[in-house]
Amino acid sequence: MGLSSISAGACLLPSPKRASCANYARCVNQILQGLSNMQLWLRIPLLKTDEDSVDVDSDDLRDSWELWNSFRLICEHHSQLSLALDILSTLPSVNSIGRWFGEPVRVAIVHTDSFLTNARGYPCLSKSHQKLITGFFNHSVQMVLSGKPLHNIPAESTGSAANHIDKNVNNVERHPLRSYLDYVGYLYQRMEPLSEQERIELGYRDFLQAPLQPLMDNLEAQTYETFEKDSVKYIQYQRAICKALLDRVPDGKESAITTVLMVVGAGRGPLVRAALQAAEETGRKLKVYAVEKNPNAVVTLHSLIKLEGWENVVTIVSCDMRLWNAPEKADILVSELLGSFGDNELSPECLDGAQRFLKQDGISIPSSYTSFIQPITASKLYNDVKSHKDLIHFETAYVVKLHSVAKLAPSQAVFTFNHPDYSTKKSNQRYKKLHFVIPCDTGSAIVHGFAGYFDATLYKDVHLGIEPSMSTPNMFSWFAIFFPLRQPICVQPGSPLEVHFWRCCGSTKVWYEWCVTSPRPSPIHNSNGRSYWVGL
């Protein structure tokens, strides 16, 4: 009977006996070609020894990730080939373990000899094991206990493994591994519950979305509604506008000076509201122009202004900001045209067009923004792109709520834009070469693509962004962006990863191109914007 005729959800495959596993992988690959829904879980020990702790002439396996990587490359990253990780008594470094969170780990097999003994004689786990198990819970990895019971549970026990598990019913024989299971259950129970926002985002985790085209397309009401719920973003904008108003109008002149503020890309009015609340907070007088090209949003704007009684303060302009002739110059220009990669929704081009109606000493909010990238292992994202079986999807940047990924090195800055920009030889084309060094204790790693982020300075010290090391807490308007590689690239310890990114501008579109040149060259992705672009 073939595997495909069995109705099991998965089949556990034994671990390869040695690093050279081509014959074994070929047999598995043949089976994969005929499988419909069943997963094959390859059993791999979680093992990585330090280079200097193994005899140079030894054939011992140093890094089990290498074993897995060799196997899955032979099987061409097949989406039905997944991992069962054996958790042993000693664990590799945090960086080494981190690689596995970008891989398709379906089950963790925790061996009884991995457990320590607490003061009461019950099994428990080291802090590093606890952190690993909790990480697996966060990634919906199943837990399996394996091995013989190695702890002599005190006979007087009718309770928990550490005074925290429900009491068992009297006279019911305990399973010999029950105390181990209780402890793992305890680790699960003490995890922090997901926040409301995290629960909302669950359905978006590792799901590829096409980026918005706000210039070519008018946004839908549901999109506006989602963004408008992000109170943190608008609090930051309000803080920035407050500071700008205080700088613009000194104390004692509040009643004499009216600040002209233009919201370019007003949507359904959240920035208008933030500006008026900032005026109220600072006691400054304001005249607001709300410029919006989407006729559906303009209808909502009119209703809002009537409802709030803002008719004497707010003027609605139904027009593309690049085409509008303003009746007067603005003191403050406010926009929220930022995409996940900062400039990928054409904020530079839009604000260049709007800059002509900003006073020479006027303030732009945001005043600058920078994009960032970092190399990631993202097996699921790569397989999702590969499933389309065409070039276009490998040359498209996607918006993704990253979850099952391994971030292999800290992110680095790519492109920066400043506003207003009065330089005479201004160009929005950009090029950047970046060198990433993956920490030596990580071991080898595979790069499926690059995660992209942004950080924006709204005004002075008020910023917002999604770059992981300085992201704005509790803000959900932006997910990261993902630039895939057509062929994943394996990077050895200590070998630098050299990456090139271009921002290209044509008469009707803006696009990105990217490639890797070290440790081996990749093709230029998205040459001439043939697969993915943002329309002007």
* Residue 311: both structure tokens together: 């008719």
> Is there a catalytic annotation at residue 345?
yes
CB 286 within 8 A of CB 247: no
AA letter at 4: S
> Is there a catalytic annotation at residue 220?
no
AA letter at 160: S
Strands 445-459 and 462-465: antiparallel
Going from the C-alpha of 139 to that of each of 129, 379, 383, 482, the distances in angstroms are 15, 13, 17, 19
Strands 412-418 and 509-518: unpaired
Contacts of 536 (CB under 8 A, 6+ apart): 215, 346, 349, 507, 508, 509, 510
Going 420 to 325 to 280 to 237, the CA torsion angle's sign is: negative
Residues in the chain: 536
Annotated catalytic residue, options 345, 349, 395, 467: 345
Any binding-site annotation on 180?
Answer: no
Any binding-site annotation on 532?
Answer: no
Any binding-site annotation on 453?
Answer: no
Contacts of 66 (CB under 8 A, 6+ apart): 19, 443, 444
AA letter at 444: S
Dist. CA 204–CA 244, nearest whole Å: 36
Dist. CA 81–CA 75, nearest whole Å: 8
**How many CB atoms within 10 Å of residue 413?**
13
Burial class (CB in 10 A: 0-12, 13-18, 19+), 113: exposed
Going from the C-alpha of 83 to that of each of 72, 107, 430, the distances in angstroms are 10, 7, 41
Any binding-site annotation on 247?
Answer: no
* Residue 287: both structure tokens together: 């005249």
Which of these, 238, 230, 294, lies nearest to 268 by C-alpha position? 294
AA letter at 536: L
Which of these, 100, 25, 33, 26, lies nearest to 64 by C-alpha position? 100
Which of these, 129, 38, 53, 56, lies nearest to 87 by C-alpha position? 129
The answer to whether the peptide bond before residue 193 is cis (omega within 30 degrees of 0) is no
CB 428 within 8 A of CB 503: yes
**How many CB atoms within 10 Å of residue 266?**
29
CB 467 within 8 A of CB 384: no
Dist. CA 280–CA 259, nearest whole Å: 13
User: Alpha-carbon Rg of the chain, whole angstroms?
Assistant: 28
Dist. CA 275–CA 288, nearest whole Å: 8
Annotated catalytic residue, options 51, 192, 308, 336: 336
Any binding-site annotation on 321?
Answer: yes
Strand partners, 374: 451
Residues classed as catalytic: 336, 345
| Known binding-site residue numbers for S-adenosyl-L-methionine | 224, 233-234, 292, 320-321
| Known binding-site residue numbers | 224, 233-234, 292, 320-321
